[in-house]
């Protein structure tokens, strides 16, 4: 009987190990669902695009993208910046000085680009980006940076040959009708 009672007792080391493993499992789950998985509710998976949606993206690239090469280069550069600073979990550890400096550059560059752009949907998108960039200067809100990243991501798909994507966030007017 005494031997049976002894087997049921784990001791302080056993309980410590069980607690550590439990915390690691819970922490990993939280990390995965908040940082790595993100908020994908509004995104359209690339595999969910219809052939018509893919054709529409190609049409936008060949028209709006070709007519606005300087804007397309700017979009690609900014998308790269946000991939490096806010992508892959970086949104939770932003360097706000770097973000503010970039927001100043975004606002200035869009002001320079807008007079040469004739596509109304692209102008609306660039103005929305300016608003988000100004918000980033006024308030240090990571959701504004996330939305800037999503705008530049979708515009990079629309204007450039950026095809290493798996999601379209559907935040832009330029890709609004993509299905």
More confident residue, 42 or 12: 12
- A 10 A CB-CB count for 31 gives 13
Contacts of 172 (CB under 8 A, 6+ apart): 121, 125, 128, 151, 154, 155, 158
Condensed to tens digits (0 to 9), the pLDDT of residues 96-108 reads: 999 999 999 999 9
The count of residues in the chain is 179
pLDDT tens for 69-87 read 999 999 999 999 999 999 9
The pLDDT of residue 3: 56
Question: Which residue bears the tokens 């302080």?
Answer: 12
Bridge partners (DSSP) of residue 45 are 167
The pLDDT, as a whole number, for residue 27 is 79
CB distance 145 to 106 below 8 Å:
no
Q: Give the whole-angstrom CA distance, residue 123 versus residue 7.
A: 72
pLDDT value of position 108: 98
Q: Which of 5-19, 34-48, 61-75 has the highest mean pLDDT?
A: 61-75
Q: Where are the domains of the chain?
A: 2-36, 44-168
- Report pLDDT digits (tens) over 130-158: 999 999 999 999 999 999 999 999 999 99
């Amino acid at each position: 009987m005494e031997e049976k009672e002894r087997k049921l007792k784990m001791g302080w080391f056993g309980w410590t190990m069980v607690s550590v493993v439990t915390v690691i499992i819970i922490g990993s789950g939280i990390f995965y669902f908040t940082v790595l998985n993100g908020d994908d509710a509004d995104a359209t998976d690339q595999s969910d695009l219809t052939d018509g949606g893919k054709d529409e993206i190609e049409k936008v690239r060949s028209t709006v993208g070709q007519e606005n090469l300087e804007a397309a280069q700017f979009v690609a550069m900014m998308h790269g910046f946000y991939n490096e600073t806010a992508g892959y979990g970086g949104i939770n550890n932003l360097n706000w000085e770097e973000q503010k400096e970039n927001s100043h550059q975004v606002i200035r560059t869009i002001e320079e680009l807008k007079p040469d752009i004739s596509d109304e949907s692209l102008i609306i998108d660039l103005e929305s980006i300016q608003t988000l960039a100004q918000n980033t200067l006024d308030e240090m809100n990571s959701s504004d940076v996330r939305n800037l990243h999503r705008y530049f991501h979708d515009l990079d798909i629309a204007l450039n040959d950026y095809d290493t994507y798996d999601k379209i966030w559907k935040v832009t007017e330029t890709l609004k009708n993509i299905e």
